[in-house]
């Protein structure tokens, strides 16, 4: 007589089999483990980054032989930019440099030196206040160590010299990243699902019965995707400009340059989609493969926050990603008025990516 059926052992067997199937599923592993881990690492680094980083320039006429300058130079949160006068002026006008510092001997008053600041309207007022606080802390530290009996070694001129500058709004950083986000998502996910379904439903195979050439089949499908996404780009830029004052420095010329850049980027991102549609064995495996391409770029390419926020060792990886160069070029064109020749480095790197991606796409592309 057979023993009583062991329900518990049967349950364990089912659990074991189900667990094994989960770990054999790429989508389950990636979405369940890899993606949360990536988010924790990325935002953990950002959250633990308590460093203050302010860029300044020092006037070439400034006295640099005093203890105040030495202390400023050694401050971890201060980065002194060394460029020619014209470049420094341009950086201050665009808010890249918080202020130009000029330290001079003070012939009147009790302080030995006077510190004068030159800034612009484009600089974040909060950064300027932080800089003044740091300078006051530096002066207090020098006083305590070297001049304990003196009133103060230096004073900061409260009248900050202001030069004209364009205000750099949050939308000027966010919109290029969001447009790149949209182009990459559409290029990878849209093309991958489209051509995989056409292949699975034997639509591409039926096209072979017609006189149309294979290249025109791909071209026709790709053109429709390009037209749709270019219309999306026009809407995004239009809403950003007219509703939120997104900067288009040279007006319509800047807009045209952005559209050319977006077209090149979309062609590149669609190449990734062709690769995903070819390597995916089923429709359920498309999202994991596509996210392996898109998610790192969403997080690391300066889409939502500057790549300077990441650790130094990670920044070279960020600068290799094609979306990084699209975002940088987009911001240069829109806010700084750069032309296509001015962004030749970014276009060149995107061009290299374009060649590599389509070589792989042609090698892996399947018609059925």
**3-state per-residue secondary structure call for the chain:** CCCCCCHHHHHHHHHHHHHHHHHCCHHHHHHHHHHHHHHHHHHHHHHCCCCCCEEEEECCCCCCCCHHHHHHHCCCCEEECCCCHHHHHHHHHCCCCCEEEEEEECCCCCCCEEEEEEEECCCCHHHHHHHHHHHHHHHHHHHHHHCCCCCCCEEECCCCEEECCCCCCHHHHHHHHHHHHHHHHHHHHHHHHHHHHHHHCCHHHHHCCCCCCHHHHHHHHHHHHHHHHHHHHHHHHHHHHHHHCCCCCCCHHHHHHHHHHHHHHHHHHHHHHHHHHHHCCCHHHHHHHHHHHHHHHHHHCCCCCCHHHCCCCCHHHHHHCHHHHHHHHHHHHHHHCCCCCCCHHHHHHHHHHHHHHHHHHHHHCCCC
pLDDT recorded at residue 166: 67
More confident residue, 23 or 169: 169
Question: pLDDT > 70: what percent of the chain?
Answer: 77
Across the chain, mean pLDDT equals 80
More confident residue, 114 or 18: 114
Contact by Cβ (8 Å): 189, 266: no
pTM for the model:
0.70
Mean pLDDT of 164-175: 76
50 bridge partner residues: none
Q: What are the domain boundaries of the chain?
A: 54-163, 170-364
**Contact by Cβ (8 Å): 140, 67:** no
SS3 assignment for 62-122:
CCCCCHHHHHHHCCCCEEECCCCHHHHHHHHHCCCCCEEEEEEECCCCCCCEEEEEEEECC
What integer pLDDT is reported at residue 327 of this predicted model?
A: 93
Model confidence over 23-66: pLDDT tens digits? 665 655 555 555 555 655 555 555 555 556 788 889 888 888 88
CB 368 within 8 A of CB 199: yes
* pLDDT on residue 1: 47
Question: Is residue 30 within 8 Å of residue 292, measured between CB atoms?
Answer: yes
182: nearest Cα among 222, 122, 232, 139: 232
Phi, psi of 78 (to 5 degrees): -110, 130
pLDDT at residue 25 in the model: 59
Measured CA to CA, the distance from residue 236 to residue 221 in angstroms comes to: 23
What is the C-alpha to C-alpha distance for residues 327 and 72, in angstroms, rounded to an integer? Answer: 33
Q: How far is CA 313 from the centre of its chain?
A: 16
Q: Would the pLDDT of 150 be above 60?
A: no
List, for residues 113-134, the tens digit of each pLDDT value.
Answer: 888 898 887 787 778 888 888 8
Q: What is the pLDDT of residue 10?
A: 67
Could you report the per-residue pLDDT of 328-345, keeping only the tens digit for each?
999 989 888 888 999 999
* Least trusted range by pLDDT, from 197-211, 282-296, 326-340: 197-211
Q: What is the rounded CA–CA span in Å between residue 110 and residue 180?
A: 56
309 CB-side CA count, 13 A: 17
The tens digit of pLDDT for each residue in 224-263 reads 777 888 888 888 888 888 888 888 888 899 999 999 999 9
- 47 versus 112: the higher-pLDDT residue is 112
């Amino acid at each position: 007589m057979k023993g009583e059926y062991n329900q518990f052992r049967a349950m364990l067997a089912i659990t074991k089999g189900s667990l094994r199937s989960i770990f054999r599923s790429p989508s389950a592993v990636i979405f369940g483990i890899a993606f949360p881990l990536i988010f924790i690492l990325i935002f953990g680094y950002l959250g633990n980054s308590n460093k203050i980083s302010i860029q300044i320039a020092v006037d070439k006429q400034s006295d640099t032989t005093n203890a105040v300058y030495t202390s400023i130079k050694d401050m971890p949160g201060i980065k002194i930019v060394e460029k020619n006068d014209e470049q420094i002026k341009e950086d201050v006008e665009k808010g890249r440099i918080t202020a130009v510092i000029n330290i001079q001997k003070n012939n009147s008053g009790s302080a030995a030196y006077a510190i004068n600041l030159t800034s612009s309207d484009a600089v974040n007022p909060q950064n300027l206040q932080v800089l003044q606080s740091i300078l006051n802390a530096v002066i207090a530290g020098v006083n305590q160590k070297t001049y304990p009996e003196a009133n103060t070694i230096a004073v900061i001129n409260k009248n900050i010299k202001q030069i004209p500058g364009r205000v750099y709004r949050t939308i000027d950083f966010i919109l290029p990243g969001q447009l790149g986000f949209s182009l990459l998502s559409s290029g990878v996910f849209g093309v991958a699902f489209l051509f995989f379904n056409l292949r699975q439903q034997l639509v591409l195979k039926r096209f072979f019965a017609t006189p149309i050439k294979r290249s025109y089949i791909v071209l026709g499908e790709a053109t429709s995707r390009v037209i749709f996404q270019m219309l999306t780009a026009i809407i995004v830029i239009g809403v950003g400009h007219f509703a939120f004052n997104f900067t288009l420095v040279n007006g319509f010329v800047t807009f045209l340059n952005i559209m050319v850049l977006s077209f090149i980027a979309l062609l590149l991102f669609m190449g990734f989609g062709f690769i995903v549609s070819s390597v995916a064995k089923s429709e359920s495996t498309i999202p994991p493969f596509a996210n392996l391409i898109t998610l790192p770029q969403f997080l690391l390419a300066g889409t939502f926050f500057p790549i300077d926020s990441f650790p130094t060792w990670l920044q070279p990886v960020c600068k290799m990603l094609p979306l990084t160069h699209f975002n940088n070029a987009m911001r240069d064109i829109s806010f700084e008025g750069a032309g296509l020749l001015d962004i030749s480095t970014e276009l060149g790197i995107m061009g290299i990516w374009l060649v590599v991606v389509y070589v792989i796409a042609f090698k892996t592309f399947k018609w059925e």
